[in-house]
Amino acid sequence: MTAPGKSPWPGRLIAVEGLDGSGKSTQLRLVKKWLESEGVKVFFTEWNSSVIVKRATTKGKKRNLLTPTTFSLIHATDLADRFERQILPLLQAGYVVLSDRYMFTAYVRDVVRGCSPAWVRNLYSFAAKPDITMYFRVPLEVALSRILSSRPNLKYFEAGMDLGLSPDVYESFRLFQGRLFEEYERLAKEFDFVVINADRPIEVQQAQVRRIIADRIDLAGFRWLNRRGGPPVRPRADDQLAAGGA
């Protein structure tokens, strides 16, 4: 992880990682609302959301055509497109960029699917390292329970069925997620992720996440100014978050 204050651009990049069901997306969206309520210039981006790539990814998944290599190449193209068109320009413009999943998701998923770790890392060498990477750690069984309760009909690749771990979709999903968890745990040490206990109440997690961001980033330097160059233009009071205050 890039040390705080060492970014080559005026902006700051914050990424969140974790298993499906870890609650990371919920936490990052709450962070976005909090930063907006503070008048901070903020932008949100998420994994597999490039308009020019998403259609091809969806078609490949529906037809079960994606090999581990093509999976990796498609997702790398997705991030490369978003990095060039959104992330980098906004970092250069002094925004706080929030990324729901980043290159570490590929480091985990592609390696579990059998791709060479060195090959994957070289593939994503274009991507800047985040200023803060938060890993939302949650017990495997808790993550599984959350996912299965919200969408009981698992998709082929989501369940890791392409790996041949088990003919049963739910057992395959459990085994696949277990391997992802082990890889995340290893990366957390290697890249010095900020580990968040994602098994705690949402508001407790959010309060911790806000403290970490406020401690590492001087948010005053990222606020919008009014046209006269005065203090930040603050949004309406009803935009304030209930969780942890603003």
Distance CA 154, CA 186 (A): 26
Residue 120 in domain: yes
Residue 157 in domain: yes
Average pLDDT, the chain: 87
Average pLDDT over residues 138-144: 91
Average pLDDT over residues 64-92: 90
Average pLDDT over residues 213-223: 95
Amino acid sitting at position 49: S
Residue 218 in domain: yes
pLDDT digits (tens, 9 = 90+) for 114-136: 999 999 999 999 999 999 999 99
Residue 238 in domain: no
pLDDT of residue 164: 92
Structural domain that includes position 167: 12-222
pLDDT digits (tens, 9 = 90+) for 15-63: 999 999 999 999 999 999 999 999 999 999 999 888 877 776 666 666 6
Residue 245 in domain: no
pLDDT of residue 60: 62
Output the domain CATH number for residue 24: 3.40.50.300
Residue 240 in domain: no
pTM of the model: 0.85
Residue 141 in domain: yes
Total domains in the fold of the chain: 1
Residue 200 in domain: yes
pLDDT of residue 21: 92
